[in-house]
Chain A
Amino acid sequence: MSVAEKDHVKSTMTSEVAVQMVAVHKWYGEFHVLKDINLTVHRGERIVICGPSGSGKSTMIRCINRLEEHQKGQIIVEGTELTNDLKQIDAIRREVGMVFQHFNLFPHLTVLENCCLAPIWVRKMPRKDAEEIGMRYLTRVRIPEQAKKYPGQLSGGQQQRVAIARSLCMNPKVMLFDEPTSALDPEMIKEVLDVMIALAEEGMTMLCVTHEMGFAQKVANRVIFMDRGEIVEQNTPHEFFNNPQSDRTKLFLSQILRH
């Protein structure tokens, strides 16, 4: 399986709603970083979000699991609305997995311990069961042999795959990817994307901030283009790349696809 293959991963989108954002606004101090974001994500849908830096893409997906707080509007995740209620925030975080640009593995724990930590302490799972699940997902991201090592001993690509496995161990309903390949050496991007494609094939609901346009074309049901805190354009990958509507989108695409 490779990114270059043209055939699109079979759509697993359903009509049920996984995440809904209604008229969401957010400010950093005086700076209006998200402006009137309306977005409905269906279960099994795969969305790729792109846009120039500072456009609010990361902030938007970080609002979904409340790593950032929105000040206006509604965000409903799997039927639960995000409010200041800490219990609800924790409940939503249990259902939403997140993969970060810089992996954010816990360096003082082994790879397997990284994976088991949340199942044990959040899901209250017995250690043995958690380790079994940890090994299952490490096998799925193809690094079971690294289980006893520490993150510092792995390559960037391996660390990111561990980070994906760590999220999957919580059996999330939605996965958020915040530029998962931007910090990787070019040689390692493919191994991470392959894992993400495999995840997509299994029907995971995914929101992915990335500049990997090959990945977008292959996997996404919908590509969203953001600029200055707004959703400028959203469309199927085919339409988005071949027939962009807005001049801002055209400019962006010409800049990233030129070389």
Chain B
Amino acid sequence: MSTATASFQPKPSLPPPAATVGVVGWLRANLFSSWANAALTLLALYVLWKVIPPAIDWLITNAIWTGESTSDCKNPDETRKGGACWIYVQAWIPGYIYGLYPYDLRWRIDLAGVLSVLIMAPLFFKKMPYRATYGMIAIILVPIVAALLFNGWYDFAPSDPRASSHPWRTVETSKWGGMSLTLLIAWVGIGASLPIGIVLALGRRSKMPIVSALCVGFIELWRGVPLITVLFMSSVMLPLFLPEGVNFDKLMRALIGVTLFSAAYLAEVVRGGLQAIPRGQFEAASALGLNYPKSMALIVLPQALKIVIPGIVNSFIGLFKDTTLVAVIGMFDFLGAIQLGNADPKWLGYAVEGYVFAAILYFICCFSMSRYSLALERKLQTGHKR
């Protein structure tokens, strides 16, 4: 060619066709893309219209919010009024929070709650120095402080008058209950099961056959047994095996059971994350001179745990709900307290309200965990796709 080189002029970018953008475009693409789709959309709208307004009526509009006793929730002819009787739930809220804890000592639980918030509060400051270290200490500290306050200091003989009046007298764990107990069990279970789960996952992938076999055995054993069995075993059978005089607390045994059970599940979740990390990451870390603990702690685990955040939170939510199973060994957690309330002679016949309230509260807790995990995932996203 004899002519000079042609200079390259890129074509200008054009806007997309109007029917594919905006509200109309979205409706067309997602709700009315075909006759079948349009029919399904209308059917769904009909079902929602049939379900949501009555639910709102019962929960809010027609509900009874003020009053003293069941008579406020009844028509003159002794039938129930059409809405929820929230005054029962209001009357029982202290019971839901504290369970059977002695009335005069409930301030100790309040104090534990306030202290927990204060201990955790500095973590909201992103710029805080040593935030990670402090976070780990705080997670261990909170349940210890709470348990100390729940338990109290002075163990008086039953004959001593102070055994029923002293502000710091001990309260046995069978009296603990309600939401405070649920939160305590969930906190300990979550806080302790994650590190144990990580160790089990690393152990299972170990090249040392004994370590790996022990971890596999442990995981499979705990995963293969229902939690309810674990709790029964811990409360009924374990004491039979322990020597005379050795006795450790029922709550402690339940905590250990819940923790190890959850750790076995978490181990498998974490192992999934470890398997997703390419070998090259470990090789690069080794080539730089990082030893096994350092390359795990700095390179492999941060990436692996990030990948399995959904799975970890899944396990945590499961654990949170499984805490209700401590009811079978005679502990009144939040759900147990709801059932106590339902059996209250003053409020007989309003169990539905109790259960609906329990459902709402559990949902709020679990949904916030789920949202938090999504936020965490977004925060840790570093724009890499491998």
Contacts and interface: CB of A to CB of B under 8 A. Distances in A.
B383 A104 contact: no
B303 A107 contact: yes
Contact of A102 (B280, B294, B380): B280
A151 interface: yes
A67 B280 contact: no
Interface in B295-322: 298-299, 302-303, 306
B283 A67 contact: yes
A106 B299 contact: yes
B290 interface: yes
B9 interface: no
B290 A122 contact: yes
A167 B291 contact: no
B288 A152 contact: no
Given A97-B287, A117-B288, A118-B288, A107 B280 contact: no
A118 B291 contact: no
A31 interface: no
A108 B302 contact: yes
Interface in B301-353: 302-303, 306
A93 interface: yes
A152 B284 contact: no
Q: Which of B284, B285, B290, B384 is the most central at the interface, judged by chain A CB atoms within 10 Å of its CB?
A: B284
Interface in B251-307: 278, 280-281, 283-291, 294, 298-299, 302-303, 306
B386 interface: yes
B383 A170 contact: no
B75 interface: no
Interface in A138-166: 150-153, 163, 166
B385 interface: yes
Given A90-B289, A94-B289, A170-B289, A117 B298 contact: yes
A60 to B, nearest CB: 15
B278 to A, nearest CB: 8
A122 B289 contact: yes
A100 B288 contact: no
Interface string B88-110: 00000000000000000000000
A257 interface: no
B50 to A, nearest CB: 48
A61 B207 CA distance: 24
Contact of A104 (B284, B289, B382): B284
Contacts of A121: 290, 294, 298
A59 interface: no
Contacts of A94: 289
B292 to A, nearest CB: 9
Contacts of A100: 280, 283-284, 287
Given A90-B291, A97-B287, A108-B306, 12 more contacts: A65-B286, A93-B288, A98-B287, A100-B287, A104-B280, A117-B290, A117-B298, A118-B290, A121-B298, A150-B384, A153-B383, A153-B384
The range of chain B's interface size is 20 to 34
B307 to A, nearest CB: 10
A86 interface: yes
Interface in B371-386: 380, 382-386
A86 B278 CA distance: 23
Given A108-B382, A152-B383, A67 B287 contact: yes
Nearest to A149: B383
Contact of A106 (B281, B306, B385): B281
A43 B177 CA distance: 72
Contacts of B294: 121-122
A104 B288 contact: no
Interface in A41-81: 65-67
A151 B383 CA distance: 8
B286 A67 contact: yes
Contacts of B386: 107, 152
A107 B382 contact: yes
B386 to A, nearest CB: 6
A122 B287 CA distance: 11
A102 B382 CA distance: 18
Nearest to B281: A104
A90 B302 CA distance: 22
A118 B382 contact: no
A102 to B, nearest CB: 6
A118 B306 CA distance: 22
Contacts of A151: 384
Contacts of A152: 382-386
18 contacts: A65-B286, A93-B289, A94-B289, A97-B287, A100-B280, A104-B278, A104-B281, A104-B283, A107-B384, A108-B382, A122-B288, A122-B290, A122-B294, A150-B382, A151-B384, A152-B383, A153-B383, A153-B384
Contact of A65 (B278, B281, B287, B290): B287
A65 B281 CA distance: 15
Nearest to B283: A67
Contacts of B280: 100, 102, 104
B284 A106 contact: yes
Top 7 nearest A-B pairs (CB, nearest first) are A152-B384, A104-B284, A107-B384, A118-B288, A104-B280, A98-B287, A150-B382
A20 B281 CA distance: 27
Contacts of B303: 106-108
B289 to A, nearest CB: 4
B299 to A, nearest CB: 6
Contacts of B286: 65-67, 93
A98 B288 CA distance: 8
A167 B285 CA distance: 11
Contact of B291 (A67, A86, A97): A86
Contact of B287 (A86, A93, A106): A93
A153 B283 CA distance: 22
B384 A166 contact: no
